[in-house]
Amino acid sequence: MVKSDYMKQMIFLLCVVFICCTENKPLEKNKEKTDTSESEKIQVLNVGSFHFGDTTDAHKTEFDESTEAAHQEIRTISKLLARFKPTIICIENLPEHNTEINAAYQEYLKNPINLNSKYGESSMIGFEIGRLSQVDSIYGIDNHMGYNYSVGDFIENSPDLKNAVDPATYLQLTNDPFKEFPALAKREANSNNLSLLERFKLINEPVYLDHSITTNADKLLYVGIEDGFEGADNAALFYHRNMKIYTNLNRIPMTKEDRVFIIMGTAHTAFLREFINRSPKFEMVNTLEYLNE
């Protein structure tokens, strides 16, 4: 009888422990959802792109956007992304140019036979998705700031200067950024031979987006002359620029019924991803899901 009571007590205690652990188990945050029907947040499709046409970007991808084949690829990608059904479209242009951009967008809507290539991917993809989604206007959310993301290379290539912080890590991030991800490194090395759709899938991989922040800013944290912060100072400017871009996004009037599509260079996409992940206002959908045919 004593043994029976002891066993009952043990079973009761185990049940209590199980219930407590279950009730206090932290929920995993789904940062990039696909099914958003029950969400109370504003849904965002945050897409990274390389820059079409001529660009001052240090990380240029070879792509001739003038060919008919390229236009067909762009229309295919736009059709896939338009399944998101955005009500607001944001592109990598300055807000002060919105009047000019929207005049061009309205002209495109009248005659969409030829894609508008004046603003690169912003107009070729952004305008076409706007047309497919019947969006009235386009928003530029970019902000320009002067900074030097090549300061580390300048120091390394100057015989009179020495990187006094951590040149080994800086050079590894410069020359072999995907060292820990060999499969991704192989895809990146072959990127100019991929279809446009496959390139978009590659550059919107979470690891690739992290790399975009590293290569544009974080690797500069391993750079400095003597006890200076030349690298960190320039990295901070790039962080500051992206904070201003996110602030411009938040200037746009919107409600929980809106659906926001953003297309920008991958580094900006990566920063926006970080801000949105922590936002009480926004929630991202999974970009790669929308790039699947």
How many domains does one find in the chain?
Answer: 1
Residue 92 domain-assigned (yes or no): yes
Owning domain of residue 202? 34-293
For 229-255, the pLDDT digits (tens) are: 999 999 999 999 999 999 999 999 999
Task: Give the model's pLDDT for residue 63.
Answer: 72
Contacts of 231 (CB under 8 A, 6+ apart): 151, 152, 165, 219, 220, 221, 222, 223, 224
Residue 1 domain-assigned (yes or no): no
* Averaged pLDDT score across all residues of the chain: 87
Residue 191 domain-assigned (yes or no): yes
Point out the least confidently predicted range of 11-20, 171-180, 230-239.
11-20
Task: Give the model's pLDDT for residue 147.
Answer: 86
Residue 152 domain-assigned (yes or no): yes
Residue 13 domain-assigned (yes or no): no
Determine the average pLDDT of the residues in 87-106.
98
For 135-156, the pLDDT digits (tens) are: 999 999 999 988 888 999 999 9
Residue 46 domain-assigned (yes or no): yes
Residue 126 domain-assigned (yes or no): yes
Residue 23 domain-assigned (yes or no): no
